[in-house]
């Protein structure tokens, strides 16, 4: 199977298609020459490509499994409650739409490299590490400053990584992506990471698993960066300023206090009587939030739910498992002019900012040990 890198756009997020990888060059149809069964492909057929084996053009072809720019491909996962589109780069969720075509997350046509980290997996840490430095087991480690204006290493090491689909574990309703995080400056550990997206009757469940494959213990935290919106038509989804019409509910009793310049933690405080108390649902009109919320009230199974409700009373719900100890709330206030307050980032995290230094809720993975985190996005039932 051969693939010619597309000349221009990526496959549009949120659009329907067959499950699994789809040729972005042939969108909206599938591709006969790459085996997805549509005669509408504008490219040469596989037999024609073989006849050009010695040509310069053929040298630009790569197999799907060995593609040097596999970010040009996206994966589609379908189930009874909707369709998810996922990019290999960053294992990022590009869209999730209901069977009626309504959006539950902010859709993007990017390949997962957006500055706002929309939909990406955050590992092996979440949020910021102060000065990109931390001590672990008697050694000082220095990470690249990926947010130099704040002097911080932000959101881990896999934002730009290309994750590989595990064909044996994937199906039309379930996608499993894998990535091996190799030792690197500042993080001399080897982790096997897996991220699964599964659409069931309950919604879209995202599960991130990490196994320490090295010989030494490794510090670890993980999270996701979905931008939620209430159930919205394609025309309304992504419209600037809509956040002012919504209410957010998060069952958190404390918040992380940060400095105003670098957004680094100074300590925790109760949310009682503050603008960060979302326990009974809070209007977002005119409010700017970028805060980590903790001390989450859970049900008998150890899970909890966050709810984003639109002006029509309908809501998108995020259910979180036991491993989610913090929720970062961000109201999309720092985008380009005319592209702000379109959605609310509700980020499930195992640990807060700078956990490598504070050790607050930090996971230490022993050799061979595994960590698992899950959250689920769906439409609230009537």
Helix, strand, coil abundance in the chain, percent, nearest 5: 10, 40, 55
* Closest residue by Cα to residue 169 from 207, 224, 201, 223: 207
Is 85 among the domain residues?
A: no
Residue 210 is part of a domain; what is its CATH number? 2.70.98.10
Number of domains in the chain: 2
Residues linked to residue 78 through DSSP beta bridges, in sequence order: 83
Contact 128, 172 (CB under 8 A): no
Is 81 among the domain residues?
A: no
Render pLDDT for 286-329 as a digit per residue (tens, 0 to 9): 999 999 999 999 999 999 999 999 999 999 999 999 999 999 99
Q: Which DSSP category does 179 fall into? A: E
Same domain, 188 and 98: yes
Same domain, 157 and 35: no
Render pLDDT for 74-100 as a digit per residue (tens, 0 to 9): 999 999 999 999 999 999 999 999 999
Is 87 among the domain residues?
A: no
Please name the residues in contact with 220: beta carbons below 8 A apart, sequence gap of 6 or more: 123, 124, 125, 191, 210, 212, 350, 362, 363, 364, 365, 371
Q: CA 119 to CA 94: how far, in whole Å? A: 6
Same domain, 255 and 361: yes
Q: What average pLDDT does this structure show over 357-381?
A: 98
Is 166 among the domain residues?
A: yes
Residues in the chain: 382
Is 26 among the domain residues?
A: yes
Same domain, 145 and 247: yes
Enter the pTM of the model. 0.81
Same domain, 107 and 151: yes
Render pLDDT for 256-284 as a digit per residue (tens, 0 to 9): 999 988 999 999 999 999 999 999 999 99
Same domain, 67 and 126: no
Q: Which domain holds residue 53?
A: 1-72
Same domain, 204 and 97: yes
> Tokens for 11?
């496959």
- Report residue 4: phi and psi, to 5°: -100, 125
């Amino acid at each position: 199977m051969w693939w010619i890198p597309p000349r221009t756009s990526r496959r549009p997020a949120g659009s329907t298609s067959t499950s699994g990888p789809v040729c972005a060059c042939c969108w909206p149809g599938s591709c006969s020459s790459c085996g997805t069964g549509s005669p509408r492909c504008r490219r040469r057929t596989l037999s024609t490509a073989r006849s050009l084996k010695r040509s310069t053009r053929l040298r630009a072809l790569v197999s799907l499994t060995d593609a040097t720019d596999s970010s040009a491909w996206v994966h589609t996962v379908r189930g009874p409650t909707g369709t998810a589109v996922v990019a290999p780069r960053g294992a990022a969720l590009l869209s999730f739409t209901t069977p009626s075509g309504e959006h539950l997350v902010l859709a993007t046509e990017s390949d997962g490299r957006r500055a706002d980290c929309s939909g990406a997996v955050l590992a092996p840490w979440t949020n910021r590490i102060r000065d990109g430095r931390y001590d672990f087991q008697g050694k000082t480690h220095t990470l690249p400053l990926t947010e130099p204006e704040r002097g911080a290493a932000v959101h881990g090491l896999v934002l730009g990584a290309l994750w590989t689909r595990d064909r044996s574990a994937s199906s039309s309703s379930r996608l499993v992506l894998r990535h091996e995080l190799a030792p690197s400056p500042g993080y001399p550990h080897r982790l096997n990471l897996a991220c699964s997206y599964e659409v069931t009757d309950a919604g879209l469940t995202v599960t991130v698993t990490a196994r320490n494959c090295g010989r030494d213990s490794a510090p670890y935290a993980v999270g996701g960066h979905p931008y939620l919106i209430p159930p919205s038509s394609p025309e309304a989804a992504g419209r600037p300023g809509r956040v002012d019409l919504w209410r957010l509910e998060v069952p958190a009793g404390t918040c992380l206090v940060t400095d105003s310049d670098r957004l680094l933690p100074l300590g925790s405080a109760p949310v009682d009587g503050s603008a960060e108390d979302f326990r009974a649902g809070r209007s977002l009109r005119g409010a700017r939030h970028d805060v980590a919320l903790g001390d989450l009230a859970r049900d008998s199974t150890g899970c909890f739910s966050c709810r984003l409700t639109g002006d029509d009373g309908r809501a998108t719900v995020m259910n979180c498992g036991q491993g989610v100890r913090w929720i970062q709330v961000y109201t999309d206030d720092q985008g380009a002019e005319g592209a702000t307050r379109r959605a609310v980032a509700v980020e499930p995290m195992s640990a807060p900012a700078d956990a490598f230094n504070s050790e607050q809720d930090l996971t230490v993975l022993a050799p061979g040990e595994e960590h698992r985190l899950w959250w689920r996005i769906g439409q609230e039932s009537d």
